[in-house]
């Protein structure tokens, strides 16, 4: 491998074993990341403690350094806390209708989300009706009507009424008339939770028997969002949460706290003012975002898939006995290939700035090496000593379409690798730690 690549690999590889001290260091970072992402302090503390317990006794996977593996463990735990899987809407009542009631503070994004959800549902071939029952803000009904026209779904409100209950009642009648399959009810919010609002929402709930009461919370409000979720859930018993404004620079840590505190799943996230900017909530994506760690997770997963455990063990054995030959070299290449392109792999590692690193050249280099090894006889691959003979080198160079100098370079690299392995086996390599046994 080229020197540049080697340097890069060294930079990203860090510790190869998980020790008490580097674990502490990573945990500190994670704690900071969580607090920075606006996760509640107590939730953070409990979380980190759970990780500590779980990580003792976890095994290091070959090919992925311990630190990354540890972060993966943390990530998985986060996913778990966030609910594991995506949770969809509850089933329709009598197989007929989804009645989705949106609640939340003023400005949280209810009306916007009502429109987004309607658009999404329409795409999924639902017959949608939007009911505008926000009687508190003067322009609210009109706002929803305009949105419904934009999307092309049915809309119902009573313009000159401020009786939210009546609007919902009539709206549901219309929904039945037109055989709507998805009914979205937009309700009023307040700047702060108050009795009148809660009473109104409870009444609507009792009358409409929604299949889902979704609490819409502004993801940027952090800790406040947690208190809001707690209060709404206590009074209304919500079915799920919608986290909005995740397009801002918030990392979405509120989600973690909300799930911990309310025990209710986050079902959707809203990531912008445009009507398409809605997604179902996937815990793994948010977990990565909270940790702010690029895509280490998919890297580790790919490595796990690509690396045959048995093969890895065998390779380790060879490393130790210093028998690593060109056949093994080829096998390693194949593993890397199975993980995807070299560029793709490096890009997944956070903190790696590829900058002026010549990716195309590195991949070309790898192909060249592969070609050279393919031009060796099996005997030569297994016994690199044979390659000291010039005529063999010459033959291989011709066979693989390279210069003899390239073959020499590869032999030199192989020598260096063997030397490195010797160091591994003898104990410590600066920056690498002891090779896992």
User: Shortest distance, CB of residue 105 to ligand GDP, whole angstroms?
Assistant: 7
271 binds ligand GDP per the rule CB under 6 A: yes
Q: Which of residues 111 and 121 has its CB atom nearest to Mg ion in the complex?
A: 111
Distance from C-alpha of 338 to C-alpha of 361, rounded to nearest angstrom: 19
Does 107 carry a binding-site annotation?
A: yes
8 Å CB contact between 106 and 137: yes
Whether 189 has a binding-site annotation, put simply, is yes
Query: Is residue 272 a contact residue for ligand GDP (CB under 6 A)?
Result: yes
Please identify, using beta-carbon distances, which residue of 98 and 111 lies nearer to Mg ion. Answer: 111
The answer to the question of residue 157 lying near ligand GDP (CB under 6 A) is: no
The nearer residue to Mg ion, 225 or 407, going by C-beta atoms, is: 225
DSSP track, 90-135: PPPBTTTBEEEEEE--TTSSHHHHHHHHHHHHHHTT--EEEEEE--
Under 8 Å between Cβ of 196 and 158: no
- Quick one: what does residue 247 bind among ligand GDP, Mg ion, none, with the CB cut-off 5 to 8 Å set by partner type? ligand GDP
Q: Provide the residue count of the chain.
A: 437
To ligand GDP, the closest distance from the beta carbon of 111 in angstroms equals 3
CB of 96 to Mg ion, least distance (A): 27
Residue 253 contact partner, candidates Mg ion, ligand GDP, none, CB within 5 to 8 A by sort of partner: none
Strand partners, 131: 156, 185
d(CA 26, CA 175): 54
Residue 111 sits in the site that holds Mg ion (CB under 5 A): yes
211 binds ligand GDP (CB under 6 A): no
For 331-394, give the DSSP string: HHHHHHHHT--HHHHHHHSTT---TT--HHHHHHHHHHHHHHHHTS-HHHHH-GGGGGSHHHHH
Question: In terms of CB distance, is 104 or 433 closer to ligand GDP?
Answer: 104
Is 195 exposed, middle or buried (CB count within 10 Å of its CB: 0-12, 13-18, 19+)?
A: exposed
The distance of closest approach from Cβ of residue 238 to ligand GDP in the complex, given in angstroms and rounded to an integer, is 15
Is 271:246 a contact under the CB 8 Å cutoff? yes
The reply, when asked if residue 219 is annotated as ligand binding, is no
Under rule CB under 5 A, residue 15 binds Mg ion: no
Q: What is the separation of C-alpha 422 from the centre of its chain, rounded to a whole number of angstroms? A: 39
Binding partner of residue 106 among Mg ion, ligand GDP, none, CB under 5 to 8 Å per kind?
ligand GDP
356 annotated ligand-binding residue:
no
Chain residues 67-106 in contact with ligand GDP, contact rule CB under 6 A? 104, 106
214 forms bridges with which residues in the sheet?
A: 102, 240
Whether 191 has a binding-site annotation, put simply, is: no
Residues that bind Mg ion (CB under 5 A): 110-111, 140
Task: Detail the residues annotated as belonging to a binding site.
Answer: 104-111, 186-190, 244-247
Residues that bind ligand GDP (CB under 6 A): 104, 106-112, 189, 216, 244-245, 247, 270-273
């Amino acid at each position: 491998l080229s020197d540049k690549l080697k340097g890069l690999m060294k930079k990203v590889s860090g510790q190869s074993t998980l020790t008490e001290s580097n674990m502490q260091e990573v945990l500190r970072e994670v704690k900071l990341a969580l607090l920075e992402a606006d996760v509640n302090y107590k939730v953070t503390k409990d979380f980190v403690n759970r990780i500590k317990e779980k990580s003792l006794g976890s095994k290091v996977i070959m090919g992925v350094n311990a630190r990354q593996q540890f972060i993966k463990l943390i990530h998985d735990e986060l996913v778990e806390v966030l609910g594991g899987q995506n949770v969809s809407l509850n089933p329709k009542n009598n197989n007929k209708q989804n009645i989705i009631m949106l609640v939340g503070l003023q400005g949280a994004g209810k009306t916007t989300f009502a429109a987004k959800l309607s658009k999404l549902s329409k795409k999924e071939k639902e017959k949608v009706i939007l009911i505008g029952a926000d009687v508190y803000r003067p322009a609210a009904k009109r706002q929803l009507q305009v949105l419904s026209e934009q999307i092309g779904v049915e809309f119902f409100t009573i313009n000159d009424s401020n009786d939210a209950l009546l609007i919902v009642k009539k709206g549901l009648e219309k929904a039945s008339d037109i055989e709507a399959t998805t009914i979205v009810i937009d309700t009023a919010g307040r700047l702060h939770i108050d009795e009148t609002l809660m009473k109104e929402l409870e009444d609507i709930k009792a009358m409409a028997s929604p299949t889902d009461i979704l609490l819409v919370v502004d993801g940027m409000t952090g800790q406040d969002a947690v208190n809001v979720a707690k209060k709404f859930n206590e009074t209304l018993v919500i079915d799920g949460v919608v986290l909005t404004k995740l397009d801002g620079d918030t990392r979405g840590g509120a989600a973690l706290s909300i799930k911990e505190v309310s025990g209710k799943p986050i079902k959707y996230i809203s990531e912008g003012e445009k009507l398409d900017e809605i997604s179902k909530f996937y815990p793994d994506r948010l977990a990565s975002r909270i940790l702010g760690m690029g895509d280490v997770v998919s890297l580790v997963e790919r490595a796990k898939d690509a690396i045959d455990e048995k093969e890895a063990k065998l390779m380790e054995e060879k490393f130790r006995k210093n028998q690593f030959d060109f056949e093994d070299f080829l096998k390693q290449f194949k593993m890397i290939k199975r993980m995807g392109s070299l560029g793709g792999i490096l890009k997944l590692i956070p903190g790696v700035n590829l900058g002026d690193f010549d990716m195309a050249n590195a991949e070309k280099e790898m192909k060249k090496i592969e070609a050279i090894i393919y031009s060796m006889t099996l005997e030569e691959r297994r016994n690199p000593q044979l390659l000291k003979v010039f005529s063999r080198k010459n033959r291989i160079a011709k066979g693989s379409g390279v210069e003899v100098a390239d073959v020499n370079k590869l032999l030199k690299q192989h020598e260096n690798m063997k030397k490195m392995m010797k160091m591994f086996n003898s104990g410590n390599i600066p920056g690498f730690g002891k090779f896992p046994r």
